[in-house]
Structure 1
């Protein structure tokens, strides 16, 4: 991890060794533009700001880099169109304003992209689109087709239909979740902050910008204090979580300030702007493992005993009914669940071979007893090792 200040960039090396930002191999890029980078200080959509970013995107595309855009701003656009003095707080009002604003926002994008002879396309998602593998594959195929047509996909959460149960929650997270769909080499989060600081820059004038991060450690997580944006929903905590999701696929991530001139172009040219999260230090999960760990919302919990915990952690074994203490939630076969120990520490996530009702009947039993209880036995394992992803850094009870 490297600390820097605004003028000299790198002033102190804390850990991780010298970092070279050679981004010449980036071929697929996701750019998330936060509300604060689309709006003025009053929260109104600012076309000049958007034009500046689109000009940079056009320069990057000319280098042959495939770009997928994740854009916030629909609700803010709706507030502006309806001449409201403040942003409503109720869900129905926000949903209505998202519907009003999304059409206007896309028209702005279409008009401005056309200045550079570029086409764009709208895709709206919710978290349940990631849960259903068939819908997810349809999304992946549509996205690939748009890129083949050289159109710029513009993705946003479907705020008009979103409720807590199916919301992704913020577009930092959404950008990180679509990384496998485009096999992205890098995600850039464009916000109103220069990057990650070693302390909250709003309260500590001596806080220093961190240029490069080699792995999301507890130290890095502790730095992500409430340095939230004034306009958007994604604070620094969500950005660090997004970096972890990206890095675990081998994808780099950067946080940059959208108000800085040519910040996207400069970043891709290897200049020390923003905070860069090295993608070479992650676990490099497969697309399937990434889906299990991050993209599918867990539908329940399986609580395991110490013996099962140690078998999972030490040997990456399959989860058998013998080691299960209890089950919470209601889930069906092939859905994703959390696997936790008796202290409710998350050990892994996995795809189940039996429903919650079935597991309650066979928990604590030997595999040989499954058929006598259920009158059938499709699998020996509750969760097969191939469908189980451990939480990074989890420890056993030894």
Structure 2
């Protein structure tokens, strides 16, 4: 079976920092590399930033705008130009591409999520390379991914990818920001048990033209590896690194994946949905969920945080304040405030109607390893 690779390239790799104009030689090398991989039998998905940067260049704007409406307008100018460049370069090599623009809504709604997965699969079966970006022109703050690192990780989970490559402006992850700390040491491998507790000073800002930084890449690595996807951070100015890494060379920083979740619905719950609140559990409920695969009952709830409705996703926390699971609730936050700590048999008496016996059914629960 063909391996599926998601490649995310950031604005810092696509543009010349001093001017914000496109680094055409880098893009051409990227296109040639991805076409080569496609010809070798790999399924390829490219998640590309750059629409706002290209739009700024077309409009003579020297600095990335901060206003949402202005960014959306400029992205509309730049997206057409960006996809045309990709189409021209890929077409010269005989490789068809498709443009896919996504918002958080496409992952939040189950039907949209499944439809997006089917569309990607159909394109890959046709030998097409999808070129993905956030739909900046219509996304509101609530429906935005925030950065394309997160988007690429969610796409990797969606398509059940084998690899996620995060191409950026540094060669790998360091113990601190090497631009600020000359003594920072490189990190070649992050083992699966190390990522959840990874706590290093990596800085939190991207370039003048980008939106991400190393923090967003670590977040993306957590999402992707949690879905069983091997993730690599490497220098985007050298796209041929992808070929070398696939051939076994130790380039960049590699994040070991967790065991791949078999249940597609549970991958959607943990990666597709946005948590709307928190539920704090007692020791008995924590053990029942994490060790015994049980549903969450109202009796095991200590406290509620946030304002959410029935069928929203929430995160579950153990008494030591560590997150242990995510699930889809059968009750709103207001209802849970009334029935928390109470036995299921008391729900009708308290609420005045017959509700679900479980707060979160085990089929709608995903334990965080």
| 1:24-173 alignment, distance < 5 Å | 27-41=3-17, 42-173=19-150
SS state at 1:338 partner: strand
Distance of aligned partners of 1:200 and 1:321 in 2 relative to their CA distance in 1, 3 Å threshold: same
Shift of 1:208: 3.2
For this pair of structures, how many residues does the alignment match? 366
Shift of 1:306: 4.2
Aligned pair partner of 1:250 in 201, 220, 228: 228
Of 115-124 and 286-295, more deviation after overlay is shown by: 286-295
TM-score (norm 1): 0.85
Alpha-carbon distance in structure 2 between the residues aligned to 1:322 and 1:206: 52
Alpha-carbon distance in structure 2 between the residues aligned to 1:253 and 1:324: 36
Distance of aligned partners of 1:36 and 1:186 in 2 relative to their CA distance in 1, 3 Å threshold: same
Matched with 1:201 is: 178
Alpha-carbon distance in structure 1 between the residues aligned to 2:101 and 2:313: 23
Of 102-111 and 158-167, more deviation after overlay is shown by: 158-167
Alpha-carbon distance in structure 1 between the residues aligned to 2:102 and 2:116: 9
Shift of 1:133: 0.3
Alpha-carbon distance in structure 1 between the residues aligned to 2:126 and 2:43: 11
| 1:1-398 alignment, distance < 5 Å | 27-41=3-17, 42-215=19-192, 217=194, 221-223=198-200, 225-226=202-203, 228-230=205-207, 231-260=209-238, 262-279=240-257, 282-285=258-261, 286-341=263-318, 344-392=321-369
Deviation sequence 1:184-217 (CA, Å, 0-9, x none): 1000011111011233221333433222222252
Shift of 1:344: 5.0
Shift of 1:181: 2.5
Distance of aligned partners of 1:98 and 1:334 in 2 relative to their CA distance in 1, 3 Å threshold: same
- Would the aligned equivalents of 1:35 and 1:72 in 2 still touch at CA under 8 Å? yes
Of 347-356 and 95-104, more deviation after overlay is shown by: 347-356
- Would the aligned equivalents of 2:30 and 2:239 in 1 still touch at CA under 8 Å? no
Shift of 1:102: 0.8
Alpha-carbon distance in structure 2 between the residues aligned to 1:206 and 1:299: 40
Alpha-carbon distance in structure 2 between the residues aligned to 1:147 and 1:184: 12
Unaligned stretches of 5+ residues in structure 2: none
Shift of 1:376: 4.0
- Would the aligned equivalents of 1:318 and 1:385 in 2 still touch at CA under 8 Å? yes
Shift of 1:314: 4.2
Deviation sequence 1:272-302 (CA, Å, 0-9, x none): 22112222xx142233222222220012222
Unaligned stretches of 5+ residues in structure 1: 1-24, 393-398
- Would the aligned equivalents of 1:216 and 1:244 in 2 still touch at CA under 8 Å? no
Alpha-carbon distance in structure 2 between the residues aligned to 1:145 and 1:386: 28
Alpha-carbon distance in structure 2 between the residues aligned to 1:332 and 1:229: 35
- Would the aligned equivalents of 1:221 and 1:237 in 2 still touch at CA under 8 Å? no
- Would the aligned equivalents of 1:302 and 1:338 in 2 still touch at CA under 8 Å? yes
- Would the aligned equivalents of 2:163 and 2:230 in 1 still touch at CA under 8 Å? yes
Alpha-carbon distance in structure 1 between the residues aligned to 2:149 and 2:201: 14
